[in-house]
């Protein structure tokens, strides 16, 4: 490994970015966990990370947090009460990194990128963020995950498993999907820190093994030792569950985004 670098991690206490903090520490880098709730970062601090208090809504706190950083690990939450605010949050983070002289940004898109604009703020916002990143002048690497296997722990699936013996998700039953662990993406992002020749690259990432909905249900059946079937949720059903968790609008277009994103799962870069 090269010289230890200061790496500011956005969303550090969340399920996607938390593994990234640990991977950075494994690689010998200095991880700075940005959070509004320092009590949620106690385990990260115990592992050796530095905790910085800041919020996406406060651009000034992001500018202060970015000072003396070599790299920024950028991740904006996929589900927000007001999805359209994600673009402004990302732009504030990018602007802060540029003003502080950060050398590189490693961006986890937190989901599939659309091929064109659709009017869905979650999808279109990712395109807006990419444009802002490209226009910033800061060297960057983009990692685009297809579908996280941790998504199956969400209430949209867990409740169906418990109450109806169904594995429910808004993906066509015949579609093969490369479910992946957030920790695997974190490992790739941490490795990219040590490879500046990857600047400008955009990686689509999925798991190695791809399965259909019924095949996924069969795996659940074997592990839980009871018979489960696959249920193809509608995007509207998925959105309603997310609205209940994050407030009205939080699930706007989410189920459709997930369903469309997995159509590109088989062509994504494979984890090794």
- Quote the tokens at residue 264: 């590109």
Taking the C-alpha atoms of residue 116 and residue 41, their distance in angstroms, rounded to an integer, is 37
Contact 242, 250 (CB under 8 A): yes
Does residue 174 sit within a domain? yes
Q: For residue range 10-64, what is the model confidence (pLDDT) as tens digits?
A: 999 999 999 999 999 999 999 999 999 999 999 999 999 999 999 999 999 999 9
Q: Is the pLDDT of residue 205 over 50?
A: yes
CATH number at residue 17: 3.40.50.720
Does residue 57 sit within a domain? yes
Distance separating the N- and C-terminal Cα atoms of the chain: 20
Does residue 205 sit within a domain? yes
Domain of residue 240, residue span: 6-270
Q: For residue range 141-188, what is the model confidence (pLDDT) as tens digits?
A: 999 999 999 999 989 999 999 999 999 999 999 999 999 999 999 999
Does residue 156 sit within a domain? yes
Q: For residue range 244-270, what is the model confidence (pLDDT) as tens digits?
A: 765 555 455 554 455 444 444 443 433
Nearest to 213 by CA among 170, 161, 245: 170
Does residue 153 sit within a domain? yes
* pTM across the whole model: 0.85
Sign of CA dihedral 159, 162, 164, 167: positive
Does residue 1 sit within a domain? no
Does residue 230 sit within a domain? yes
Does residue 187 sit within a domain? yes
The count of structural domains within the chain is 1
């Amino acid at each position: 490994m090269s010289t230890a670098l200061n790496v500011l991690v956005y969303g550090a206490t969340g399920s996607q970015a938390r593994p990234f903090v640990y991977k950075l520490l494994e690689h010998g880098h200095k991880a700075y966990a940005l959070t509004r709730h320092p009590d949620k970062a106690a385990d990260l601090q115990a592992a050796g990370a530095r905790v910085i208090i800041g919020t996406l809504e406060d651009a000034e706190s992001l500018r202060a947090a970015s000072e003396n950083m070599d790299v920024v690990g950028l991740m904006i939450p996929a589900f927000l009460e007001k999805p359209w605010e994600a673009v402004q949050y990302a732009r504030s983070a990018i602007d802060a990194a540029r003003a502080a002289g950060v050398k590189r940004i490693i961006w986890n898109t937190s989901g599939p990128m659309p091929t064109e604009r659709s009017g869905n703020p979650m999808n279109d916002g990712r395109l807006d963020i990419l444009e802002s990143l490209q226009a910033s002048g800061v060297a960057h690497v983009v990692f685009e995950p297809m579908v996280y296997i941790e998504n199956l722990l969400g209430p949209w699936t867990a409740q169906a498993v418990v109450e109806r013996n169904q594995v429910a998700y808004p993906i066509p039953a015949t579609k093969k999907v490369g479910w992946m662990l957030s920790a695997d993406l974190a490992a790739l992002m941490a490795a990219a820190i040590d490879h500046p020749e990857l600047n400008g690259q955009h990686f689509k990432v999925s798991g190695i093994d791809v399965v259909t909905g019924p095949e996924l249900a069969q795996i659940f059946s074997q592990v839980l030792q009871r018979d489960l079937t696959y249920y193809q949720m509608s995007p509207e059903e998925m959105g309603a569950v997310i609205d209940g968790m994050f407030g009205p609008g939080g699930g706007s277009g989410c189920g459709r985004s997930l369903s469309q994103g997995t159509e590109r799962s088989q062509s994504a870069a494979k984890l090794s």
